[in-house]
Amino acid sequence: MSARVGSISESATLAVDAKAKALKAAGRPVIGFGAGEPDFPTPDYIVEAAVEACRDPRFHRYTPAGGLPELKQAIAAKTLRDSGWAVEPANVLVTNGGKQAIYEAFAAILDPGDEVIVPAPYWTTYPESIRLAGGVPVPVVADETTGYRVSVEQLEAARTERTKVVLFVSPSNPTGAVYSKAQVEAVGRWAAEHGLWVLTDEIYEHLVYGEAEFHSLPVVVPEIADRCIVVNGVAKTYAMTGWRVGWVIGPKDVVKAATNLQSHATSNVSNVAQAAALAAVSGDLEAVAKMREAFDRRRRTIVRMLNEINGVECPEPEGAFYAYPSVKALLGKEIRGRRPQSSVELAELILEEVEVAVVPGEAFGTPGYLRLSYALGDEDLAEGVARIQKLLAEARD
């Protein structure tokens, strides 16, 4: 086994989800808060476009490695419509999901030893894809007291002469944090001032609640545009996690290099999935508005119920579909004869005792927290959190 690949850890979020699904398949009444995927089916008009593509012999063949030209065009148009950023198809690479977009973007710009500042709690895939590209992830931790938002002062304290990139994600997985326009601007200006690249992950752009607003970093700070890479995809907006379509938007030379890499690694993304993505990004945002309404309702329920538990503190997430409560005050307490010392042990206890799957904060670089995805049905959500409430009410010194 090579040192490079041998050191990659399993995706903790997928592992929790797999464990929960296996228990469910074995007949256990498990409720899963692990997976970061909408519980809705993909809207019909998108599925229909895929069915039609299946019947078209043009799609039975290889197509350009970097994506169907009409999809790249539609992604450029959608980016202008939703973010106000004018890009050309040559700035776009269609990838096998946001994950491949992130991997290829880092591979295209990092040299061995280049440092990438990664605000923590971070989505578990970022540090692994940075390491795979030879880079060094440098976490900067923000806790619940700032709503999990890092400040420019913190970023500056982590900057060295090896820093090449700052990763930015708003709305965030795993915390649901959304940065205000002024905060986005401050991060972007700081990066521009120091000649850094920004990789900004906009996959949750349409999932913001209440007063919160999404702001695209290269639109707020146009001077960074030629050192900015945007990652996005259809997974979360259109309930299309299984279709595997994402994209990179960036400077043409970076996109060209990443396309070359993809041409050898995986070639074109499945044409059927690309045709579905084309229908998704060319259509309106009605379906996501409906899903957002449901997520918002569930968000309010889960945050209220979690905060009712002694020892749990959950700031209100303003975006995505995750709650990220601190459980630090519960660690070391006795619960059903055990004393969980870490959030990993607490998550195990919750799964074993009340058959509810949650992801421990260790997966996101911050022990002492749990991540609960609230993209599941209202009844399951209420029942699952009620089980956690009942169990944790038994905690004793």
Ligand X SMILES: Cc1ncc(COP(=O)(O)O)c(C=O)c1O
| CA dist., res. 366 & res. 238, Å (int) | 30
**99-128 footprint of ligand X as x/- string (CB under 6 A):** x-----------------------x-----
Question: Among 133, 235, 273, 350, which residue sits at the site for ligand X (rule: CB under 6 A)?
Answer: 235
Asked if residue 38 binds ligand X (CB under 6 A), the reply is no
Question: Looking at beta carbons only, is 246 or 325 nearer to ligand X?
Answer: 246
Alpha helical stretches, state H, the chain: 3-6, 12-25, 44-55, 69-83, 97-109, 125-132, 152-158, 181-193, 217-220, 252-265, 271-282, 286-307, 343-354, 378-392
Asked if residue 237 binds ligand X (CB under 6 A), the reply is no
Min dist CB 204 to ligand X, Å, is: 7
For 51: left if phi > 0, alpha if psi spans -120 to 50, otherwise beta; the answer is: alpha
Min dist CB 395 to ligand X, Å, is: 30
| CA dist., res. 308 & res. 302, Å (int) | 10
Which residue, 116, 130, 203, is CA-closest to 163? 116
Stretch that binds ligand X, among 91-99, 151-159, 186-194, 209-217 (CB under 6 A): 91-99
| CA dist., res. 236 & res. 176, Å (int) | 13
Asked if residue 206 binds ligand X (CB under 6 A), the reply is no
Question: Among 79, 83, 173, 268, which residue sits at the site for ligand X (rule: CB under 6 A)?
Answer: 173
Min dist CB 52 to ligand X, Å, is: 23
Asked if residue 203 binds ligand X (CB under 6 A), the reply is yes
**3-32 footprint of ligand X as x/- string (CB under 6 A):** ------------------------------
Question: Looking at beta carbons only, is 165 or 309 nearer to ligand X?
Answer: 165
Which residue, 39, 72, 25, is CA-closest to 250? 72
Question: Looking at beta carbons only, is 97 or 188 nearer to ligand X?
Answer: 97
**Residues 161-185 as b or e (16 or more Cβ within 10 Å = b):** eebbbbbbbbbbbbbbbbbeeebbe
Question: Looking at beta carbons only, is 118 or 257 nearer to ligand X?
Answer: 118
Stretch that binds ligand X, among 20-28, 46-54, 95-103, 105-113 (CB under 6 A): 95-103
Asked if residue 188 binds ligand X (CB under 6 A), the reply is no
Question: Among 38, 66, 89, 98, which residue sits at the site for ligand X (rule: CB under 6 A)?
Answer: 98
User: Which of helix, strand or coil describes residue 209?
Assistant: coil
Cα of 351 vs its chain's centroid, Å: 23
| CA dist., res. 4 & res. 9, Å (int) | 11
Give the largest CA-CA distance in the chain: 67
Alpha helical stretches, state H, 283-331: 286-307
Min dist CB 36 to ligand X, Å, is: 4
Asked if residue 97 binds ligand X (CB under 6 A), the reply is yes
Asked if residue 201 binds ligand X (CB under 6 A), the reply is yes
Q: Report yes or no: 133 and 107 within 8 Å, Cβ to Cβ.
A: yes
Q: Which residues bind ligand X (CB under 6 A)?
A: 36, 97-99, 123, 169, 173, 201, 203, 233, 235, 241, 246
